[in-house]
Amino acid sequence: MTFKEKYGDHSSEIYKGNLDISNQQLTSLEGCYKEVQGNFYCSDNELNSLEGAPKIVNGYFSCSRNKLISLEGAPRTVNGYFSCSSNQLISLEGAPRNVNGYFYCSNNKLISLKGAPRTVNGYFSCSSNQLISLEGAPRNVNGYFNCSNNKLISLKGAPKTVDGDFNCSRNKLVSLEGAPNTVNGDFNCSNNKLISLKGAPKTVDGDFYCSRNKLVSLEGAPNTVNGDFNCSNNKLISLKGAPRTVNGYFSCSSNQLISLEGAPNTVNGDFNCLKNPKLNSLDTLLGTKIKGNIQSDLSVKEFEEDQKLFNKINKNLSKYRKLKRLLQATKIG
């Protein structure tokens, strides 16, 4: 049944308010209003085309859970969010050029993002598709960007700056080349095939997750992570390349570490190095400032005693150097 058959022909009219025609078994939007000044919902129907949809929607637009294979006919302007998730889309051609809320195209059959909006002022989610490339992705995303659970082998085409989280987990990535330079939230690249972190963002203001990969090195990791850092379940034998400062917890559990050399200088949460059967000493952690607890299969009590002694010696050494400089200055004077 078409919109026109059920509601009459309103194609030359403007609808004032929210229009919800979800779950009406509609097969076509022919005869629908030319503009909706509120939200427009046409989810849970049997639509295979958006031809006849309003050209302007001043609120939200949702056409989720239909049988759409194309977005041709979609509004040119959407001032709220745009959701076309859970359809059979193979292309985003026809999508609005600008979306002032979030854009949600997850759970489709997309292999490309060509046709996606250029600017998304909320979050952008293209998770659970069949994407092999991010070419065509928005250049600017002012919320989070989620491309998880696809078939990506590269991040080329990703936005250069993401103001929220960036999630590329559960793909087939072998490299982070093309990743955003700056992520103002969390960065999650876990459950891929990475052997290195080269190409990772230079700045991550949230957590950094790179667990469950094939990492043999942490080279390329950000210098500072303002949240947690999790590199567990990899093939690391050392921590060289790890961030110098981690303001949350640091987890390197379930690796093949033989040394903790390269550990951060400062960890403001717990330090977890459990399940590293080849690790036989915590000595290389001496000097690392850890505000939380150390979680290890080795004797932490013995290490903590050594750390106290190390700190005491270091403190006395600092006093000695200061006194030495003072004496040298007195002689010169």
Segment 99-151, tens digit of pLDDT: 888 999 999 999 999 999 988 888 999 999 999 999 999 988 889 999 999 99
Q: Is the pTM of this model over 0.85?
A: yes
Average pLDDT over residues 170-192: 96
Average pLDDT, the chain: 91
- pLDDT band at residue 332 under the 50/70/90 scheme: low
Q: Each residue of 281-311: pLDDT tens digit?
A: 898 898 889 999 999 998 776 566 555 544 5
Phi, psi of 309 (to 5 degrees): -65, -40
What confidence score (pLDDT) does residue 76 get?
A: 87
pLDDT digits (tens, 9 = 90+) for 56-109: 999 999 999 999 999 999 998 889 999 999 999 999 999 998 888 899 999 999
Closest CA to 286 of 308, 318, 255: 308
d(CA 239, CA 259) in angstroms, rounded, equals 8
d(CA 50, CA 251): 48
- Percentage above 90 pLDDT, the chain: 78
Q: Residue 15: which region, alpha, beta or left (left: phi > 0; alpha: psi -120 to 50)?
A: beta
CB-based contacts of 142, cutoff 8 Å, min separation 6: 120, 121, 122, 163, 164
The pLDDT, as a whole number, for residue 301 is 62
Q: What is the CA radius of gyration of the chain?
A: 27
